[in-house]
Amino acid sequence: MQETVFHALADLALKSTGQAIPLSRAYLMEARLAPIARREGFGSLADLVHCLEARQNPVFRTEVAAALLTHETSFFRERAVYDTVIDTVMPERLSAPGASARLRVWCAGGSTGQEAYSLAMMLEDEPSALLRAARIEIVSTDFCKASTERARAGVYNHYEIQKGLSIRRLIKHFGRLESGDWQASDALKGRVGFRQHNLMESAGGLGQFDVIFCRHVLSGMARSARVRVAEVLAAQMAPGAVILLGEGESFQGLTDLLEPAGDIRQGWVAAGTANRRAA
């Protein structure tokens, strides 16, 4: 790949999604954009870049930027996080003085939906009386339109199903299609709402949330983008809300709006509230 082509695509990724793609990963660009190039009849990525620069088509630019993202996810990834949310975070929120019987959860950067469906299955299978009586809304968002549509359809191939999903939950919550793929039940899909959203932009239209998952999203971003995401997430936190990051991710040194929860691994809360929460 020509360096000029790489830099044009890397700049598109950075400006659109905050992703910082090093030159050493140019081979991934070629692999991820090859299907689009073939579909559009381009002989090379240089032709694709020329088209991006000549047409200024925002829909096509968004599709190309989305293709450059890492979409890796799985069911029940880092299972301990779900256990903490179900066993500790949600009950505490519902039992707090003046709390309502409603909880809102945001899976930010939710890719093809496995994270949101994992939480929905746990709420379906293992709810305490307190959670069973609550109204719990799960919203999953992603920059990529194709990923969002796949998540909404709830269809997964055999390889995706095998990553983290038990046979018991597979049989209970999914049905086999003629294609051999598996589709989430209507009951499970009814528990989750899916929307397209760019974490680099305001999420005010989504409302406030009690629990925010933003796991394995920050790691590939430039520092300035991580700062922006921290601001966007903090703005959507209801009083007492918790943000959960992926293993190895942190807001440390990025913002004064958030601080480690202390009692929740990978959890972050509004600045100045961690001690009150611990007390």
Per-residue pLDDT reduced to its tens digit, 63-112: 999 999 988 899 999 999 999 999 999 999 998 887 788 999 999 999 99
Looking at the chain, which residues constitute the CATH 3.40.50.150 domain(s)? 79-278
**pLDDT value at residue 278:** 54
Looking at the chain, which residues constitute the CATH 1.10.155 domain(s)? 3-67
From the list 208, 276, 216, the residue with the least C-alpha distance to 250 is: 216
Candidates 2.50.20, 1.10.287, 1.10.10, 1.10.155; correct CATH number of 3-67? 1.10.155
Candidates 3.40.190.10, 1.10.1060.10, 3.40.50.300, 3.40.50.150; correct CATH number of 79-278? 3.40.50.150
Q: Which of 56-60, 155-159, 243-247 has the lowest mean pLDDT?
A: 56-60
Main-chain dihedrals φ then ψ at residue 212, nearest 5 degrees: -125, 120
pLDDT of residue 31 exceeding 60: yes
Q: What is the DSSP string of 10-77?
A: HHHHHHHH-B---GGGHHHHHHHHHHHHHHHT-SSHHHHHHHHHHH--HHHHHHHHHHTS-----TTT
pLDDT of residue 277 exceeding 70: no
pLDDT category of residue 127 using cuts at 50, 70 and 90:
confident
The stretch 31-49 carries a mean pLDDT of 94
Q: What does pLDDT average to over the chain?
A: 93
pTM: 0.93
**pLDDT value at residue 246:** 94
The stretch 132-148 carries a mean pLDDT of 95
Task: Pick the more confident residue, 275 or 6.
Answer: 6
The stretch 227-232 carries a mean pLDDT of 97
> Tokens in use for 223?
């520092």
Pairing of strands 182-184, 155-156: antiparallel
